Amino acid sequence: MISGVVIEGLDEAKRKLGELHPKQMRTAERASMRAAGNVLAAAAKRRAPRRTGFLASKGIGVSVSLKGDAPVANVGANRVGRFQELGTRKMRARPFLRPALAETKDQVVETYAAAFKKRVAQLTQ
């Protein structure tokens, strides 16, 4: 059985988004994506192996790029982090990025939505 879904405020949201210049829209999307990526990066830093602490302090970063028209947040680790995450033939894997994503995926989406809503509100005042 299919039940109906009613989304309140959709007309107002469409109107506000229509008021934005495409460049303003991209800026809002990128800023929101960076905020969401920072949530994931913080969780990855908490979960990173801590033998020397270098990986957690400087080895995990966020970059935002465009893939087509959509912004993409890349949360990644340096060379040492890749070996920790995936392992080598002589070292077992100690994943920290994938568990961090599993732990924070809902929070990442909520952060993106809140940041985007805030940015659009600022731009349409």
Residues paired with 64 in a beta bridge: 73
What is the average per-residue pLDDT within 98-114?
A: 93
Please say if the pLDDT value at position 5 is more than 60.
no
- Residue 114 lies inside a defined structural domain of this protein: yes
The domain containing residue 28 runs over which residues? 23-123
Q: What domain count does the chain have?
A: 1
pLDDT (0 to 100) of residue 6? 55
What is the average per-residue pLDDT within 63-92?
A: 89
- Residue 93 lies inside a defined structural domain of this protein: yes
pLDDT: which is higher, 5 or 98:
98
- Residue 88 lies inside a defined structural domain of this protein: yes
Distances (CA, A) of 43 to 36, 47, 79, 119: 11, 6, 19, 24
- Residue 115 lies inside a defined structural domain of this protein: yes
CB atoms within 10 A of CB 74: 12
Cβ contact 74:29 at 8 Å: no
- Residue 83 lies inside a defined structural domain of this protein: yes
| Mean predicted lDDT score pLDDT of the chain | 85
- Residue 87 lies inside a defined structural domain of this protein: yes
- Residue 29 lies inside a defined structural domain of this protein: yes
pLDDT: which is higher, 36 or 18:
36
Question: How many Å apart are CA 19 and CA 119, to the nearest integer?
Answer: 13
SS3 per residue for the chain: CCCCCCCCCHHHHHHHHHHCCHHHHHHHHHHHHHHHHHHHHHHHHHHCCCCCCHHHHHCEEEEEEEECCEEEEEEEECHHHHHHHHCCCCCCCCCCHHHHHHHHHHHHHHHHHHHHHHHHHHHCC
pTM above 0.75, yes or no: yes
- Residue 8 lies inside a defined structural domain of this protein: no
